[in-house]
Structure 1
Amino acid sequence: MRLALLGTAAVLALGTGSATAQDVTLRLAHWLPPQHAVPQTGLAPWMDSITEASDGTIQFEVFPAQQLGSAPDHYDMTRDGIADIGYVNPGYTAGRFPIYELIGVPFLAKDGANAAKAIHEWYQGDYAEREMGDVYFCLVNPHEPGRFHGKSPIRVPADVDGLSVRPAHSTMARFVNSLGGSSVQVPAPEAREALARGTADAVTFPYEAMRIFNIAEETKFHNDMPLYLSAQVLLFNKARYEGMTDAQKTVIDDHCTPEWSKRFSEGWSEYDMGVREDILNNPDHTVYTPTEDEVGLWREAAVPILEAWKEDARAAGVDPDTVLEELRAALEANDTLYE
């Protein structure tokens, strides 16, 4: 509601003639429900800070819940100017961003907020220009490490064999398929329906999705092993960004930094940890912590996924070992490299 009022207020201000030629209202599109932690704890403070820093000359109109287009279309919507700013999951478009897809490989990062800063530091510059050069790269927003949640227990990799799983992104889809499961590709807001209809037996999600997407109503068994990240990005339409005044662009630049990526992601991480505690204490749910040997089985099962990513990276014209080393160095520098 607060975000909707922000957008409405901006439109009303323009309509009454109070705006100047330098005032802009940016259309921001995302695919999450308005009550999700990202709009509430990430987007809202970020927009408020920009509006304040720009002396009110930059306002926002927000279009949540796939109002302007489906979740996988948000990159193209932003590039083409349907939205001025888009909240994009690169993993929803398999093969399009092969360097960035490294983020989804299991057992790389152990938290969300610190990983946000690390990923931003690693990807900004040459990699972002190479893969997302037709937009203005702003922020990285990963969730806390995702897990398996199912209608039946998933303790070891062999338990995925024969299951239909809604994966977080293309890399996790590859992982599910490698374990003998089949992937059900639907955006996050449609996952509960897939479970309810029996199209999916399990999902890979962070804990917060158990509440915000009502996944807990359908999945009662949870593997508590932190497994992978899904790292969304916030992008600007390049022409819209370049059309702003120098002062306004400076405000935007100051809000598109590794430090802001971390700040943007912290509230989502805190929310996720709170939902995890609720699930752990809920007698209707069974949470399983794999043994050290079982974690070893998962790690071994994930090796081919990293190797497959390396092949994709080579095909994209980059040295995968260099890219991986750079990401691991950034994660280690931010105290979030998976041990």
Structure 2
Amino acid sequence: MTTMTRRTALASMGAALATPALVSNLNAAEVTLRLHHFLPPVAPMQKQFFEVWSAELSEATNGAVEVQIFPAMQLGGKPPQLADQVRQGICDIAWTLPVYTPDRFPIAETMSNPFMVTNAEKSSVAMHTLMDEFGQGEYRGIKPLAFHTHDGGKLHTRNAPVLSKADLQGLKLRAPNQSTGDMLTALGAEVVFFPVTDMVVGLSNGVIDGCCLPYEVVPAFKLQELTSYTAAPAPASRGLYSNTFAFIMNEAKYEGMSDDIRAAVDAASGMQLSQRLGAQFDVFEAGGKAAVEAQGNTIVEIPAEEIASWQEEAAPVHEAWIEKLNGMGHDGAAVMARANELLDAG
């Protein structure tokens, strides 16, 4: 092979090797968004929502947006720090719970009070509306993408079902948040607060008699194996409680994107996303209930009149929340009245 031919061949080989990199660069995402959350990578929320939503956003922007998902707090920190991580730019998007930072996002936390939930889809729409009307100032430096709830909590117990207030007397229960704990205490239960991981240990060794959680949490912690009874309010009643969630984005990151990408993000967020997330959690709820049924556990219904009496017991918890909102510069009574109106509508 002549020197010229060899050079030509090497040049051609070099061009061939360079072509994939060139194509890769041409197709590289214009914007990379880091999504941080606390659930494990095998969680249904990861597989059925985060990955699906991320792929849809990439497709909607013809690949201009790439969402990199970091489950299980892989970017560091603890779940209560997620909102600050978004604000500070440690991550670009996060999924978190307002109750992780009590009283910091009080409007977003309002529907975590007892009996402020119907099903997840309807309650998520109500929460988003409430945030639009009263909570616009809570997330400064952050662009909210969606707000939602899970379905109403149930009472999962080891030794006996709960059908009345009498059944709660002295029962050691793990509560999901402070306001629900206050309500259960008023009903006569002995309430404890600790992480769900400790809850599993507590149920295993008999330190607690049960817990208050939605069905959707059951499979992840194998609660169907640790408890034998589940008590759910009568279908026409409000749920015992629901925690609220915020899906949020760094505002500076959002503002720094091109108009067309911002438009795609807007189309993939807002009220329709809140409703979608709620509907997704209703699906998760059905799956959790199926796990309880497959285990052969006993499911009982707390009568509507009993739930009505429990709601009366919860009234002081609501009054205390109204006063808390008033102290933060809100019209607490108006916020609670509007939340109830939204839940009762339709």
Q: Does 1:80 align with 2:93?
A: no
Identity over aligned pairs, percent? 27
- 2:226 aligned residue (195, 198, 218): 218
> Equivalent residue for 2:44?
37
Q: Unmatched 5+ residue regions in structure 1? A: 1-12
- 2:326 aligned residue (288, 303, 314): 314
Q: What secondary structure sits across from 1:60 in the alignment?
A: strand
Cα deviation for residue 147 of structure 1 reads 1.2
TM-score by length of 1: 0.84
Contact 2:176 2:193 in 1 (8 A): no
1:192-245, Cα deviation, whole Å (9 max, x unpaired):
244335554322211121112222222222111231211211011122222211
> Equivalent residue for 2:155?
148
Q: Which amino acid aligns with 2:253?
A: R
> Equivalent residue for 1:173?
181
Q: What secondary structure sits across from 2:144 in the alignment?
A: strand
**Could you tell me how far apart the structure 1 residues matched to 2:179 and 2:87 are?**
24
Contact 1:118 1:327 in 2 (8 A): yes
Q: Does 1:185 align with 2:191?
A: no
> Equivalent residue for 2:121?
113
1:139-159, Cα deviation, whole Å (9 max, x unpaired):
123111111212233333454
Q: Which amino acid aligns with 2:287?
A: G
Q: Does 1:254 align with 2:267?
A: yes
Contact 1:208 1:276 in 2 (8 A): yes
Q: What secondary structure sits across from 2:181 in the alignment?
A: helix
Cα deviation for residue 297 of structure 1 reads 2.9
Cα deviation for residue 270 of structure 1 reads 1.4
> Equivalent residue for 2:139?
132
User: Are residues 23 and 14 of structure 1, via their aligned partners in 2, closer, same or farther at CA, if it must alter by over 3 Å?
Assistant: farther
Cα deviation for residue 59 of structure 1 reads 0.9
Q: Which amino acid aligns with 1:242?
A: E
> Equivalent residue for 1:6?
none
**Could you tell me how far apart the structure 2 residues matched to 1:274 and 1:303 are?**
32
**Could you tell me how far apart the structure 2 residues matched to 1:44 and 1:157 are?**
43
Cα deviation for residue 293 of structure 1 reads 3.6
Contact 1:26 1:84 in 2 (8 A): yes
TM-score by length of 2: 0.83
Cα deviation for residue 161 of structure 1 reads 4.4
**Could you tell me how far apart the structure 1 residues matched to 2:73 and 2:205 are?**
22
Cα deviation for residue 106 of structure 1 reads 2.2
RMSD: 2.5
Q: Does 1:47 align with 2:48?
A: no
Cα deviation for residue 134 of structure 1 reads 2.7
Contact 1:90 1:101 in 2 (8 A): yes
**Could you tell me how far apart the structure 2 residues matched to 1:251 and 1:189 are?**
38
User: Are residues 27 and 214 of structure 1, via their aligned partners in 2, closer, same or farther at CA, if it must alter by over 3 Å?
Assistant: same
> Equivalent residue for 1:330?
342
1:157-191, Cα deviation, whole Å (9 max, x unpaired):
454444443322332233234445233132x4654
> Equivalent residue for 2:65?
58
**Could you tell me how far apart the structure 2 residues matched to 1:237 and 1:229 are?**
26
**Could you tell me how far apart the structure 2 residues matched to 1:207 and 1:246 are?**
41
Q: Which amino acid aligns with 1:109?
A: V
User: Are residues 74 and 160 of structure 1, via their aligned partners in 2, closer, same or farther at CA, if it must alter by over 3 Å?
Assistant: farther
> Equivalent residue for 1:90?
98
Cα deviation for residue 45 of structure 1 reads 2.5
User: Are residues 190 and 50 of structure 1, via their aligned partners in 2, closer, same or farther at CA, if it must alter by over 3 Å?
Assistant: farther
> Equivalent residue for 1:24?
31
**Could you tell me how far apart the structure 1 residues matched to 2:132 and 2:22 are?**
34
- 1:209 aligned residue (190, 206, 217): 217
Cα deviation for residue 90 of structure 1 reads 0.7
**Could you tell me how far apart the structure 2 residues matched to 1:277 and 1:134 are?**
41
1:66-95, Cα deviation, whole Å (9 max, x unpaired):
323322221122222221111111112222
**Could you tell me how far apart the structure 2 residues matched to 1:311 and 1:168 are?**
22
User: Are residues 78 and 199 of structure 1, via their aligned partners in 2, closer, same or farther at CA, if it must alter by over 3 Å?
Assistant: farther
